[in-house]
Structure 1
C-alpha cells in the first residue's frame, strides 16, 4: 500500500546552507541508499552551477576545508547531514533537491529507497514514487527485481535473494528450465518466476523465518520505462548501487549522477555488480556457521572461495567489499538472531549487520507464507510496521576493535572491524594495529553486543 504523497518537509537549514555555498563536499557511507542520496543533491547543485565533490567512505568524516560546506550522507555527523536514520537518506535528499529548485530523478531516489531495505511508496518515498509514475518512468509488474532480462545470470548474482542456486548460474538455468518460460516474458511468466523464487527462498535449507518477508522487496518490482534508466527494474538498480558502493564506488557515483548512462558505464556497473554478488553467495556456500546469544557468525574464506576463473569468476572482489554483503544476506535469510557477523580470518576482517532502524528484516517473527502468497498479486510491504530500536553496531565495532588494536567503523545497523595488516592497509598506525587478531575482535564484539 502506498502512503499519501503529501509534500515531505525538507531540512530547511541544510537547504539554506547549500543555496549559498561556494563549494560543497558530499561524503557518503558505502551503501546504495547513501550513493543515491548524494547523487540527488549533487544533481541539484549542478543545476544551479554550484561546484561539488562526492566521495564514498565506510566511516565518513566531514572535512569542509577552506570555505566549503561539508555534508555527510548516510550518517549523522558534522554540522550538516542527511543521516538516513528512521527512513532512507534518499527520501530526504529528494526533498532537499526539490527545495533547491531542481527536478530530481525519482528513479534514482526509488533505487536508494530499495537499497535501504524499504519499498517504493513507503518510509517517506511517496513523493518520489508519485513523480516517477506521473512521468511514466516506472510501472509495477509481477516478477522479480533483476537489472536485466538475462534471467539465469542475474538471478544467480542477485543479492536481493538467497536461493539454492544463488552464486551458481548453471543451477539457476536448470531451475528456470523447469518453468518453460517464453523468451519474452508476459505477466503470467513473471508471476511463475516470482512464485519459484519466493518458494525457493522460504524453503531453502537453513532459511530463517525472516527470509519469507525479506524476499518481498525483490518481488513484484517497479519496472523502469524508457532507455535512460540504466537497468530494467528499480530493485535491480538498487542491488547494483549497493554492490558498487563497496566494490567500485567511483562507478556507482558516476552511474547515479548520469541522467543517461552510456553503454560502457552500464556494462562496467553490471559486471562489477555480478562479480560482487557471485563472490558473496559463493563465500556463503562454503561458510561455517555458529549461533550465539544475540548473533549468528559465519566464517568465510574469500581468497579461497572455490572459483576457478572464467566468465563466472569472482576472484576480483576482496573481503573489505564483499563481507558486508555476506553479513546482510545472513541477516536477512539465514539468521534467527538480530545480528549477523561475517568473518574472514585470513583477511583479518569482519562485517556485522543488524535488524534495527526499520529495515526490511525487522519482522523476524512474521512467519513464512506471505511472500509466497504475494508473489504474483502482491502489495504487502517488506518492513514491519513496528520497527525495532537500532542496534548500535558501529559503536560496538569501534569498541571491540579498540580492545585488540584494530580499526572499527559503522552505523547503527551495520559495522566492521579490521585488524593487523588489514587495519594498517586501512590507515591505522602500525604500532596500533598489530596487537590482536580477528578472533579476539569477534569475541570483544560479541561481548559488546
Structure 2
C-alpha cells in the first residue's frame, strides 16, 4: 500500500442488497489442497498406532525426537526458575483478574416444588477429563493457557491435560502450573487433537477438547467431533475479526490501532469500521497507513487489509444494525456514553465500551475470556466460560400424591402422542397406590 488513498470508504445507503451482503462476507478460509483427507489420515494413524504415531509426527512436523511426550511432574513444579520477577508478576496479575471474573460463572443449582408432591432440580457437575490445546508458533501463548486453564480449574474438572507443540517454553509450563495444570504433553497439530480424541498409551481420551489452532487443528476438531463417540469440542474457531462503531468523539489513532491489532493475526483476519462521520473515516485511513509502516507484521496486515471495510452510515443506529447482522467476534464502541447503547446489541462475542477499552485488554488481563465465536457464530454462541466445563443434570422426585395429581394430564398427553408404554409406566403405579393405600395416602 503506497498511500492511505488505497483505503476506500463505502456509503452503506448507496449499496444494493447484494452489495451490502458482500461487504459483510468474511474472507474465505483457503484450505490447503486435500487437507480434509490429510487430517483424516493423521487421525487414523494416531488411532491405530498411538504413541508411535505421535513420536513419528513430532519428528516430521516439529523436527524433534523426544524420549517421552509427557513433561515430568518435577519439571512442572520447578518451572519458573529462569523467569524474571517482572514476568511472574504480570502473569499473576492476569490470572487474578481472569479468576475473579470467571468465579461468578457457575451454573446455579435449582430446587423447585412445581406443585405439592412434584419436585424438580437442576444440579451441576464438572466434566470429567478435558483436553486443552495451546498452539505453538513464534511466541508462547500464555494467555491461551490462562483462558482455558482457569475456567477448567474453577469448574473443578477431575483431570485437565494440556497439549502443545514441542519444545514447550518454560514460561508456558509455569503459567500452566499456576492455573492448576500438572499434566502436560509435548505434541501439537492434528495429531494432538487425535491423541486427546482417541486416547493413547500416554495420553488419555478426553470428554471435551478446548483451544484454538490453525486450519489443521480446526479440521481435526471438526472430524473428531463428528465421529461416533468422538470427543466434544468447544467451537470451531475461524480467523480473528473486529467491528468498530465510532462517532465524532472517537480518536482515529485509537481506531486505526484497534483495526491493525486484529489485522496482524493473519491474512484472513477481517476488520470493519462503521461510522456516520466521514471526517473520522478519512482521518482513520491516514492513521492506518502511517501506523502500518512501523509494524513488524505489516506483510501480513497488508493482506488482511485488502478485505477491510470502512462503511459510512446515516447514523449510529444504522451502525448497530450492521453490527448485529455481522455478529462480530470483537465489537468496539468508540462512542460517547457507550454503555447506554448496550441495549441495542444482540450479536457479539465480546464488547469493548468507550475510548479507553482496547481489545488487547480483553486478550490478556481485563478478566473476560478471549476464546470467542467467529464467522458469525456469535448469533447463537457465547465466549468460553466456566459453564463450558460443566454439565447440567436434571432431577425430579414425585410423591404418591404428586403422581396422582399429574396422572390424568399425563394420560391425555401420552394418548395424543400414541405412546401407550409411557402411559402404562404411570398407570401401573397409580393403580398400585389406589389398591394398596387409597385411604391413607400421606404423600
Q: Same fold (TM over 0.5)?
A: no
* Larger relative strand fraction: 2
Q: Highest relative contact order (Cα 8 Å, sep 6+), 1 or 2?
A: 2
Larger Rg: 2
Output the TM-score relative to the length of structure 1: 0.23
TM-score (normalised: structure 2)? 0.24
